[in-house]
Amino acid sequence: MMLDIDVIVVGAGPVGMVAALLAANEGLEVLLLEKSDNRHVQSRAIGITPPSLEILQHIGLTDLLLDKGISVRFVRIHDETRLLCSLDFSQLPDTFPFVLAIPQHRTETLLEEAIARVPSIHLLRGHTVEDVFIQGEQVEVYGGHSQGGRFHFICRCLLGCDGGRSITREALEIPFDGASDSQTFLMGDFEDNGTSGDDACFFLRHAGRWNHFPYPEGSAVMF
């Protein structure tokens, strides 16, 4: 049992890792609990938007990410035969007027490497949170290890960053007003031999819609 840690973050996805880094930046001691033993590597979020890049600048990560990703400044939308229109992000009044194309697993790798450099963040993988109780001024967190065994931690502040099916939200009876989208799509990372360079392209075809985003090192994500 770890007593009186400042902050427990449940979930070491991108949100949990950024939250842990921001809290540590404020001088807080952080325990980051993650149920999976390994990081996910599937194709997920394709890029980082300008406001997120500004937030990541506070924890010194933006330059690292810019180095690893592709700055997408144009989106081109085509129908069967012609270019319908282009969106020019470079006109945005932001510090970073582009979407940074970078696979989510690479972003997570950089975040986890940053966490490893911060002594006040303790990342524990294989720790599944199962219940959370607020007891006066403190929060009690109970769960199980992936190798068997139980844990019980107490903190002053808990951040539930455990994704769409959050056990934290459920335990604390916090309502979730979101709804499922009925659309289905296929997404994957492929080698790119095309000519669209660093632009994102949307193709609106009779057979269906497909989108193409550039990724670093000549690969592209399509869905």
Give the residue with the Cβ less far from ligand FAD, 45 or 80: 45
Give the residue with the Cβ less far from ligand FAD, 12 or 61: 12
Closest separation in Å from C-beta 153 to ligand FAD: 12
Give the residue with the Cβ less far from ligand FAD, 158 or 161: 161
Closest separation in Å from C-beta 42 to ligand FAD: 7
Closest separation in Å from C-beta 191 to ligand FAD: 19
Contact between 97 and 63 under an 8 Å Cβ cutoff? The reply is no
Name the residue with the smallest CB distance to ligand FAD. Answer: 13
Closest separation in Å from C-beta 154 to ligand FAD: 16
Give the residue with the Cβ less far from ligand FAD, 34 or 192: 34
Residues that bind ligand FAD (CB under 6 A): 10-16, 33-36, 44-46, 104, 128-129, 161-163, 167, 187
The residues with which 113 forms a beta bridge, in sequence order, are none
The 3-state DSSP composition of the chain as helix, strand, coil percent (nearest 5) reads 25, 40, 40
30: nearest Cα among 22, 41, 38, 39:
22
Of all helices (H) and strands (E), which one includes residue 55? helix 50-57
3: nearest Cα among 140, 130, 133, 161:
140
Taking residue 9's Cβ as centre, other Cβ atoms within 10 Å add up to 28
